[in-house]
Amino acid sequence: MQPFIFQGFNPAALEFLQQIVRENNKVWFETHREIYQQELLQPFRALVELLAPAMLEIDDGFEIRPAIGKTLSRMYRDTRFSNDKSLFRNRMWLTFKRPAKQWTDAPVFFFEITPDFFHYGLGYYSASKATMDRFRHLMLRQPKEFSAVAASCRAPFELVGESYKRLLVKDQDPTLANWYNRKTFAVMTTNTQIEALFSAQLAQHLIRGFRQLRPLYDFLLRVEMLKSIPLEDL
């Protein structure tokens, strides 16, 4: 079998994601499974394989297997604890992260497509307070290093994530406070120019973006190392 070479996504992939919102049932999905496999799953797998060498340069501990549950998201939703009982997602994504049970509390590179936009970047899915406390500690202990980290998160990326309503530290430098007061965060860019998904150059575009964010990832790995140390001993 000839290997699948990533040449960008096809409009049919986005049409599938649009339709699955209206036809959110197993019968429809099974009758359209071939479209899902050809237009979404296969290109995503090829994209992971294309990105993998560059991502291993950032961290050779990354999971890079182009498989569902490893680097690729599932279409099925877990509805057990959600008020939304839709069976299928109308989006798909890939991630590069170290294998871990608590992956939501660890740094992850991501790329996600929806019918109307795509976005990519680096951050936490849902950082714990313990993680953010160590992040803040390291920010204050290594201000010069963090200044370089913050500078790398320039356009097209922006810092997003919920912040505390009250400042944790009064009279703090606004740039520093923007990071310091987050409950969790990601640095990401959102693009509504869907046509960019249809180009083979998408892979190189992602690689450039992920490499730009490497200083932040390296900083977050240092935060991970502090997790074995009680906060009061830091």
Encode pLDDT of 199-229 as tens digits.
999 999 999 999 999 999 999 999 999 998 8
Over residues 105-120, mean pLDDT: 97
- Condensed to tens digits (0 to 9), the pLDDT of residues 168-185 reads 998 888 889 999 999 999
The Cα-based distances of 106 to 40, 97, 135 in angstroms read 26, 8, 12
Structural domains of the chain, ranges and CATH numbers in brackets: 11-229 (3.30.930.20)
Q: How far apart are CA 124 and CA 131, in angstroms?
A: 10
Percentage above 90 pLDDT, the chain = 80
CA dihedral of residues 119, 127, 104, 226 (deg, nearest 10): 120
Determine contact, residues 35/20, Cβ cutoff 8 Å.
Answer: no
More confident residue, 65 or 75: 65
Q: Quick check: helix, strand or coil at residue 1?
A: coil
Query: Quick check: 160 pLDDT over 90?
Result: yes
Q: Determine phi and psi for 33, rounding to 5 degrees.
A: -60, -35
Residue 23: CB atoms within 10 Å? 13
* The pLDDT value given to residue 19: 94
State residue 77's pLDDT score: 73
CA distances from 117 to 90, 129, 149, 197, 212 (A): 12, 31, 27, 9, 21
pTM across the whole model = 0.94
